[in-house]
Amino acid sequence: MKPFPIPVRARYSCSKCPAYCCSYPEIEVTPRDIERLGKRFELSYREAEERFTKYDSKEKVRLLRHKKDTVFATVCTFLDLEKRRCTVYESRPGVCRAYPDSKHCGYYDFLRFERAHQADPEFIALT
């Protein structure tokens, strides 16, 4: 018999974070992710691929495009810069769904450390 799942209490709070994870420049997308995004915007696979992703020739993968941000240098093209929320939440790529895959978020841990260190609960890390 499978053990009863133990509830994991998240040690991070996305509501207190300016979407730090969405500033990561190498968010990899799969063909399935591109297809899903295409459906969301009623675009063909090629159109979605061209509009929302770019090719990383070094790693030979496709990444989500970025745009300029006022908090971080750049963020994912799908982030709402005011609300700091994903605008394609239901259609977001697999890696976004999976992250963080534990009760800790490394970005949030860093923010929390800096906020405590600088005695500034509102501190936002600029990258």
Residues that bind ligand SF4 (CB under 6 A): 12, 14, 17, 19-22, 27, 64, 76, 78-79, 86, 88, 92-93, 96, 100, 105, 107-108
For ligand SF4, the closer CB: 49 or 108: 108
CA–CA separation, 112 vs 127, rounded Å? Answer: 16
- Least separation in angstroms between residue 124's CB and ligand SF4 is 11
> Is 91 in contact with 32 (CB distance < 8 Å)?
no
Q: Which is nearer to ligand SF4, 55 or 110 (CB)?
A: 110
Secondary structure letter of residue 117 according to DSSP: H
Report the distance separating Cα 40 and Cα 35, nearest Å: 9
Give the nearest distance from C-beta 46 to ligand SF4 in angstroms. Answer: 19
**Closer CB to ligand SF4, 45 or 89, in the complex:** 89
